[in-house]
Structure 1
Amino acid sequence: MLCGCVSPGEEKQEQTVMIDNPDVVIIGSEIEGAYLARAAQDEGLSVVILDPRKQAGGQLLQGQMLYLDEPTDASNNTLLQGKVGQLFDEYKKGNIRKLKDFEAYYKQLLSGIHIESGIEILSLDKDQAGENKQALKRLTYKNQAGEEKTVEAKYWVENTDFAYLSSQLSQDRIPGVESIFNLEEKAHMASSIMMKFKGVDWDSFQKAVMGLDQAAREERYGGTTYVTNTFTWGFGNVGSSYTPTREDIFLRGLNIVNQKDGEALINALLIYNVDPSDSERVEEAVALGKAETDRVLTHLQKELPGWEKAQVNGYPDYLYIRDYDRYVTDYVLTATDMFSGSMFWDNVSIGGYPLDIQGVIGDRWGRALGKPDKYGMPLRSFMLKDYSNVLVAGKNVGATAPAYGSARIQPNTSLAGEVIGIILGQIDGKTELADLTEEDMKELHAYIEKKYKIELNSESGANKIANYTEEELILIDKGHLIVSK
């Protein structure tokens, strides 16, 4: 059993510059890993972020994916907790909506934590850690100035959108969406380029669309179309009536966020076959997306009331990457875990969201596999298999392709990142991450609830597959059977 928990910052002083041997090295600067960094440093650990991208912030800042999806249970109760819950509070209030707001938030989140951008990993040194696991001991990299540096750490975190670290440590790839779409070759969900507009009359837009009765609204714009003061859903007919310039581009239904002052951002323009580890393909896709955005504007001006005077409001310099190679973790979440409402003794997040599989070039609309109630996300799904001290964050979570459709949502893994950061601070010098027991986790959960008001000992979610046959459960886990309400 662990010894008594300490309060954040009691044992170690905050580090504000690069140090040679930090406690935690995080590879990549996506927001989910940033929550882990903040929590670990607040708990007294020293943290360094080494980012292979030239600019920090990943999909949130560089991709400007500012349409935030909220996880809810079957009764539509929010599952938000922790720091990401606080972000959503400000988002819903309208205090954080525009890029500059998110940039300020991100900067504050990582205050005092050193980030070095544009690094290239040159070598990784490993040692044996017990009979069945290895430990990553040191990493040698080249910085933007061309200098070689070596860093050692107790813990390492994969936090890129292209598995930069984990792909060099493991060859055990989790099968991707090719298994859902019955493809012979490896495949990934479509990426998106976010479309930014100004000159939108949101009040007129909302009144015109919602002034129609449901039948008329769905006939004109598509099923489940809805406009609130903040968001839209639906508009599938607007997407399907648009003819893109290329086969690898597609306009789906419109997820729009009202950024206020006549500004709006749309998550809808898909680009297929983007490998985020291929910088040339990423640059090509960004250029294609920018050009296509100009054409989409003309389409929206014709199709959407209140958008007649809309203009393009700039472009992001990067994409929203949903999906890339992921590698086997100590536990790989399955679709049946989610639909049965499973909870785990080592929960680090309580998740919830439909199993939303965005499409591939041969199946453009993708698959909606059903919506679970709530489910647990275990620490083991964030521990790279065969390693005692390597963790994964964000979209690197260990989940099968169908389960990944829900697990991938930012708030699910942001909460996990924060909780893992707390755990790393609490176990430092007491026990190894891989040796944590159920009794240890009970103690950690109690501390996290008391100190951070994060509840991880939730009752199981509703079991939506209790009456399914064994054969049907197998199909669910393959993504070949939709779970009805």
Structure 2
Amino acid sequence: MSSKARKAKTIAVLYLIFMILLVGAVGAAYVLKSKGYIKNKGQVGQAQELAAVKTVKDPKDSYDVIVVGTDPEGVAAAVSAARNGLSTLLVDGRDREILGGLMTLGWLNSLDNNYEPDRGVLHKQEILNQGIFTEWYKKVEGDSFDVITAANVFNQLVAEQKNIDVHLLAKSIEPVLNGSAMTGVKITKQDGSVKTVQSRAVIDATQDADIAAAAGVPYTYGREDIGDKKSKMAVTLVFRLKNITPEVWDAMSKRMEADGDEGTGANAMSVWGYKDMKDYPPVNKDRVAMRGLNIGRQNNNTMLINALQIFGIDGTDPKSRAEAFELGKKELPLIVDYMKKKYPELAGIELDATAPELYVRETRHIQGEYRLSILDVMENRDQWDRIGFGSYPIDIQRLSPADTGSVVGVPLQYAIPYRSIVPLKVDGLLVVGRAASYDTLPHGTARVIPVGMAAAQAAGASVKIAKEQNMTFRQLSASKESIAKLQDTLNAQGVVLKPFDIKAMNLPETNKAYKGWKTFMEHKSYEGLKVAMSLGLAGGGYSNDFQLDAKSNQQRFINLLEGSKKSKPDVLTGSPSAAVAKGTDAKTLPVTLEAAAQMVALVTKQEAPQGAAVQAMLSKGYLTQATVDLIANKQELTNGDTYMVLKDLFAKIRK
């Protein structure tokens, strides 16, 4: 072999070794990414001075658009409107002197980002919420950020727009209506004087849709849409610990590495783990509980912790919010002392402060021209009037101390429709943020701030189009031509709003969420699962595994029927547990089709002879022959089989 040939062979071998190492490294990264461990590592920065927000003492008499609320969604809406040439008033009625709301005053400083579907080893997953959100995001430290940095970047975005006036510290803000049309707001200023500001366009970016509710927009509260108005997700009081030196942070990171537990990890700005903090014994066990720690680092040797859950709080009631602060502040010294004793690396920490505002996850859900459903999310549906996308897990935080919370499933990508920010009954108004027109279950994913900022950017841009075309927002929401113009405008301004089809993406089987999605979508019991999901009675976790082929048991089916009562309490009045033989443990007994039919008869208070319940329920229409034929083993029903029985029951009682 010539020297030239040997050289070529050596180069080829080295190249092959390089590619093997590269693929191995990327593959390892993919494994981590597929489990949700990889975040933007970020970097610790220099502590900044908080910049003052330039405000106007006396707003003008009128503006093209008024944005109420200085949360991230409000900032995005105002900046978007201003960049589209509109005179804009950004006004806030809470005791705030900085911008950013939940992020900068609620101290929710770890982001729940939405990424496009994972297409395989060599494909970089991009953030779905391009536009003003990513413009802001690129200027902070990472997926966890310093709240002063965040506030200053929000301030910078607003200050760069000459046609935005900011008015803070209003005592109250009330809608002004002419019939069913919003014509502006009435502001009671800090000095007690009243100013009415006119506008044909108002964007409600308050956390709880305060302006919309005051204007008469219909809404549901908490889990009311699935028959459980008294329940809502826990609120959280974020707290700050000091003495978090680089050495302490390194020790925390090493603990996460040593744990090796799925769902734990650390980087330069974030630590997520310490799952055994859920075992902390609260003094007020009926109102307070801890969960695993979500920790976001600050630039001044402190860190913020989102983990303290407080129950039974109405986020729309100032007195109830004050009670949450009282409950939290009584418990926190004990929590910190517990942490110091339990974890050696935290022995030197001290409680520094609590967030100025409460992190409220759920209150009002307005009724809009379209209501985002759990099936929209779990089926990964596109929308013709898409204005943003989501993919974050459907995260239902605990409802009570006895509850453990749940993950309904993980969407791959779904669209937010413009119609979901257009409220019913009131014209001249848009509602952005977590209180938009989403059912309570999809709200578990759509409530995250990047989604809200995407919808807010669309809201701001749509005001210009509605003005140019002399349309109401409701008319715009029904016009495919006008929506296409809005989408073109947003795409030109950095938002990526392309149609998508999950099935056409040919995603790899290594994508667990996709594999689970295909499995349940193609399952013979999917029509039943749809009903169970819509009632909040089925969860697939992070891999979308609903265990449709797993054997059920009598207790599980009883729980399914008891849970269904909340949606139809006037019809489902009986007790299905009476079907269980005395002296037996329902958890150990398989569900036969006959037993299932007997339980349906009991819960609906229908006559069904012993041993002939199936025929009785068929004759009365509570069970269909199609479902009976679908069940392969009538002596041992699977979870999927029981969902099909549930489907038949609800098809009957909803008529």
TM-score by length of 1: 0.86
- State the SS of the aligned residue for 1:349: strand
Q: Give the superposition deviation at 1:368.
A: 1.2
Mapping of residues 216-227 of structure 1, within 5 Å:
218=261, 224-227=263-266
Q: Give the superposition deviation at 1:261.
A: 4.7
2:334 is matched with which residue? 295
Stretch deviating more after TM superposition (306-315 or 370-379): 306-315
2:304 is matched with which residue? 265
2:256 aligned with 1:209: yes
- State the SS of the aligned residue for 2:250: helix
- State the SS of the aligned residue for 2:298: strand
Q: Give the superposition deviation at 1:473.
A: 0.9
Mapping of residues 140-289 of structure 1, within 5 Å:
140-170=186-216, 172-174=218-220, 176-177=222-223, 183=228, 185-200=229-244, 201-212=248-259, 214=260, 218=261, 224-289=263-328
Q: Give the superposition deviation at 1:385.
A: 1.2
1:417 is matched with which residue? 456
Determine if contact 2:365/2:439 at 8 Å carries over to the other structure: no
1:98 is matched with which residue? 146
Determine if contact 2:430/2:459 at 8 Å carries over to the other structure: no
Give 1:467's match in structure 2, choosing from 514, 522, 536. 522
1:118 is matched with which residue? 170
Q: Give the superposition deviation at 1:260.
A: 4.2
Deviations 1:284-326 (A, max 9, x none): 2123323322222112223334212112222222101111112
Change (3 A) 1:109 1:356: same
CA distance in 1, matches of 2:192, 2:105: 24
1:354 is matched with which residue? 393
Determine if contact 2:365/2:435 at 8 Å carries over to the other structure: yes
Determine if contact 1:348/1:416 at 8 Å carries over to the other structure: yes
Q: Give the superposition deviation at 1:89.
A: 2.7
Determine if contact 1:238/1:303 at 8 Å carries over to the other structure: no
Mapping of residues 309-458 of structure 1, within 5 Å:
309-361=348-400, 363-432=402-471, 433-436=473-476, 437-450=479-492, 452-458=493-499
Stretch deviating more after TM superposition (316-325 or 51-60): 51-60
CA distance in 1, matches of 2:174, 2:423: 20
Whichever residue aligns with residue 239 of structure 2, its letter is M
- State the SS of the aligned residue for 1:323: coil
1:108 is matched with which residue? 156
- State the SS of the aligned residue for 1:245: coil
Q: Which has the higher strand share?
A: 1
Determine if contact 1:232/1:256 at 8 Å carries over to the other structure: yes
Determine if contact 2:107/2:147 at 8 Å carries over to the other structure: yes
- State the SS of the aligned residue for 1:101: helix
Stretch deviating more after TM superposition (118-127 or 38-47): 118-127
CA distance in 1, matches of 2:341, 2:461: 51
CA distance in 2, matches of 1:283, 1:99: 23
Return the structure number with greater relative CO, CA threshold 8 A, min gap 6. 1
Change (3 A) 1:402 1:466: same
Q: Give the superposition deviation at 1:52.
A: 2.1
CA distance in 1, matches of 2:95, 2:385: 35
Mapping of residues 5-84 of structure 1, within 5 Å:
18-56=59-97, 57-75=100-118, 77-84=126-133
CA distance in 2, matches of 1:480, 1:174: 19
CA distance in 2, matches of 1:74, 1:306: 37
Over the aligned positions, Cα root-mean-square deviation in angstroms equals 2.4
CA distance in 1, matches of 2:173, 2:311: 28
Q: Give the superposition deviation at 1:362.
A: 5.3
Determine if contact 2:272/2:293 at 8 Å carries over to the other structure: yes
Instruction: Number of aligned residue pairs: give it.
Output: 453
Q: Which has the larger radius of gyration?
A: 2
- State the SS of the aligned residue for 1:422: helix
Determine if contact 2:146/2:298 at 8 Å carries over to the other structure: yes
Deviations 1:89-109 (A, max 9, x none): 333459x82232122122223
Deviations 1:200-254 (A, max 9, x none): 2111111233134x3xxx4xxxx53222333233332222234343421111111
Using the aligned pairs only, state the percent identity.
23
CA distance in 1, matches of 2:177, 2:300: 52
Whichever residue aligns with residue 169 of structure 2, its letter is S
Q: Give the superposition deviation at 1:123.
A: 6.0
Determine if contact 2:295/2:304 at 8 Å carries over to the other structure: yes
CA distance in 1, matches of 2:453, 2:238: 21
- State the SS of the aligned residue for 1:415: helix
Determine if contact 1:352/1:412 at 8 Å carries over to the other structure: no
Q: Which has the higher helix share?
A: 2
